[in-house]
């Protein structure tokens, strides 16, 4: 069956409708005009969100996808329009976020000839996408769009690029809009091996100090309820990665919070002292393992992951299971007995009492105080987006998460400028929920132009600028490891953020004293006429602890400021 003749751009919009797309985030331009025109001529119900920069579009789509669990769509033009999405594509790729990026391109017969606004976006993005397409014929559009969504959302999710020359998007398309996919060799069905599951159950049964490490893969697979059932049945403590926050309720008695460089002391000590580590959906990244040779050196390690490429990449586990996390857990529960872990849990509870997350409410205004107050007033049920830096780590520590899709943070890429547009994308996807954006003054200034997008659509977001006038995390490293020689971290010249917000028509609050935290946080949460911004003049030189210096082992964790000079770290910041 063939459809009636339509332009390629119209076919794209109809195919996006078939995939259930609600929003397209983007910025227009010449090479993409036929697609933008189709948003009008097709009379589609898809809503287009005009951003102020293409990077903002990619981060908004990312935030939408993280907050809803649904794939998101970006539409931009060729050349610089396409390359401006690169940071956002890399961010999504590092964190396995399903995203479709549609880029306009120069006409087919000018490809490779340095035409106006031509860029080889197919080649440029190849290392940071799950798959790419260059559409050469309009009749290929329905198949390619369907394949792109399938690839982006199955197996280990990720961004897919579709590059569309202008003559293709303007040309005639007569293909069936429900075309069949053609993906030979693309495998997403990984059946659970029963013998492997029995081996894991047997290893758990012999363990006296077991620990579950739950990562983003467990979150993506929707394994939260299954993970909780497994942990409660076997009475196994659970720690999570930064991106796994919320897959296991962080207020649960078995919860240890986040592990790693700025994880809780008790989570890191549990990793050091466990005799078995069951990793479900974490890629063992450098932020959580410290020194690979010393990581869980006395423990049996089991790794469940849907991506075989992550097996043996950083750590060599004793037992591996390449499978979907939820499917594997559901099968494992049938075979795992109730374990005798009372002494182990009591031991870890002792660490919780000895090394609690804490801060001083007296003196200068602390980021932790503000984040903690937002947590208390929302009961941990807001959708929280962060930027990257000290505030991100304190938010991870003090804003506990109870469910999936409520923690939006750039993990693998560590992308400054992510927080605000990601929060905006989440608010489009979940307009009836409370959305809080914790950003530092550095990262905020990288994408604050998207305040216009938030204001125009009257989005219910609370933008909390934790303003210490520094690039705080780098300053902390310079203080601890470089004799406090500050270089390139002083953000002298910051604008008045409240006046900046007001220039966009956004309500602004200034917060300077600890005694005003409760009142102003409540006022911001009660504000219901669009976005609002709180400029928080916090302590300039506060440091995040616990801390594991880069390249050091978890055993070398610092729980408080050191009394002696530290050696320069060998790992990345």
| Closest CA relative to residue 115, chosen from 165, 56, 182, 186 | 165
Nearest-5° Cα angle at 426, 420 to 432: 120
For residues 275 and 339, is the Cβ–Cβ distance under 8 A?
Answer: no
Strand partners, 464: 438, 534
d(CA 428, CA 162): 23
Q: How far apart are CA 415 and CA 417, in angstroms?
A: 6
Residues tagged active-site = 54, 116-117, 166, 473
Could you tell me the two tokens for 13? 């919009």
**Pick from 410, 104, 437, 387: nearest CA to 285:** 410
DSSP secondary structure letters along 63-76:
HHHHHHSS-EEEEE
Gap between the Cα atoms of 366 and 391, Å rounded: 10
Residue 120: C-alpha distances to residues 124, 125, 140 (Å) = 6, 9, 20
Residue 29 · residue 117 · CB < 8 Å:
yes
Secondary structure letter of residue 477 according to DSSP:
H
Pick from 389, 355, 384, 363: which is nearest to 372 by CA? 384
Q: Please state, in angstroms and rounded to a whole number, the distance separating the CA atoms of residues 529 and 525.
A: 11
Taking residue 410's Cβ as centre, other Cβ atoms within 10 Å add up to 30
**What DSSP character marks residue 570?**
S
Coil, strand or helix: which one is 547?
strand
What is the spatial distance between Cα 8 and Cα 387, in angstroms, rounded to a whole number? Answer: 38
Cα distances (angstroms) measured from residue 463 to each of 40, 222, 406, 536: 33, 29, 16, 10
């Amino acid at each position: 069956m063939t459809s009636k003749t339509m332009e390629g751009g119209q076919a794209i919009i109809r195919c996006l409708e078939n995939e259930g797309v609600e929003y397209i985030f983007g910025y227009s331009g010449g090479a993409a005009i036929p697609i933008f025109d189709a948003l009008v001529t097709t009379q589609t119900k898809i809503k287009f969100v005009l951003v102020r920069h293409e990077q903002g579009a990619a981060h908004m789509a990312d935030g939408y996808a993280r907050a809803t669990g649904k794939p998101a769509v970006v539409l931009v033009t060729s050349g610089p329009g396409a390359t401006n999405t690169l940071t956002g594509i890399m961010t999504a790729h590092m964190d396995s976020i399903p995203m479709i990026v549609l880029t306009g391109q120069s006409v087919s017969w000018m490809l490779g000839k340095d035409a106006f606004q031509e860029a080889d976006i197919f080649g440029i993005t190849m290392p940071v996408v799950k798959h790419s397409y260059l559409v050469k014929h309009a009749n290929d559009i329905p198949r390619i769009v369907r394949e792109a969504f399938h690839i982006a959302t199955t197996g280990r999710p990720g961004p897919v690029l579709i590059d569309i020359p202008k003559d293709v998007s303007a040309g005639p398309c007569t293909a069936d809009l429900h075309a069949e996919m053609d993906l030979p060799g693309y495998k997403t069905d990984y059946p659970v091996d029963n013998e492997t599951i029995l081996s894991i159950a047997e290893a758990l049964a012999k363990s006296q100090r077991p620990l579950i490490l739950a990562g983003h893969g467990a979150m993506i697979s929707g394994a939260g309820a299954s993970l909780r059932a497994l942990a409660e049945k076997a009475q196994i403590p659970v720690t999570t990665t930064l991106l796994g926050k919320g897959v296991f309720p962080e207020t649960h008695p078995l919860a240890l919070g986040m592990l790693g460089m700025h994880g809780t002391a008790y989570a890191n000590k549990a990793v050091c002292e466990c005799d078995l580590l069951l990793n479900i959906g974490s890629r063992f990244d450098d932020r959580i393992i410290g020194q690979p040779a010393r990581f869980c050196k006395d423990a049996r390690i089991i790794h469940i992951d849907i991506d075989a490429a992550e097996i043996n990449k950083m750590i060599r586990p004793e037992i591996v299971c390449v499978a979907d996390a939820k499917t594997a857990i559901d099968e494992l529960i049938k075979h795992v007995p109730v374990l005798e872990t009372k002494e182990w849990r009591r031991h870890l509870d002792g660490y919780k009492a000895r090394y609690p997350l804490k801060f001083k409410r007296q003196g200068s205004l602390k980021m932790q105080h503000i984040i903690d107050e937002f947590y208390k007033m929302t009961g941990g049920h807001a959708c929280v987006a962060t930027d990257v830096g000290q505030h991100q780590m304190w938010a991870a520590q003090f804003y506990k998460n109870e469910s999936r899709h409520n923690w939006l943070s750039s993990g693998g890429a560590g992308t400054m400028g992510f927080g605000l547009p990601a929060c905006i994308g989440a608010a489009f996807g979940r307009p009836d929920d409370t959305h809080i954006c914790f950003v530092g003054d550095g990262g905020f200034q990288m994408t604050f132009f998207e305040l216009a997008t938030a204001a125009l659509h009257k989005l219910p977001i609370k933008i909390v600028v934790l303003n210490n006038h520094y690039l705080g995390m780098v300053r902390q490293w310079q203080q601890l490891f470089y004799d406090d020689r500050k270089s390139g971290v002083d953000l002298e010249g910051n604008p008045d953020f409240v006046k900046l917000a007001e220039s966009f028509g956004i309500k602004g609050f200034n917060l300077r004293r600890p005694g005003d935290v409760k009142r102003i946080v409540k006022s911001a949460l009660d504000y219901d006429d669009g976005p609002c911004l709180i400029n928080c003049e916090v302590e300039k030189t506060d440091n995040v602890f616990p801390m594991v210096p880069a390249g050091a082992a978890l055993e070398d964790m610092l729980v408080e400021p050191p009394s002696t000079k530290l050696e320069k770290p060998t790992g990345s910041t």
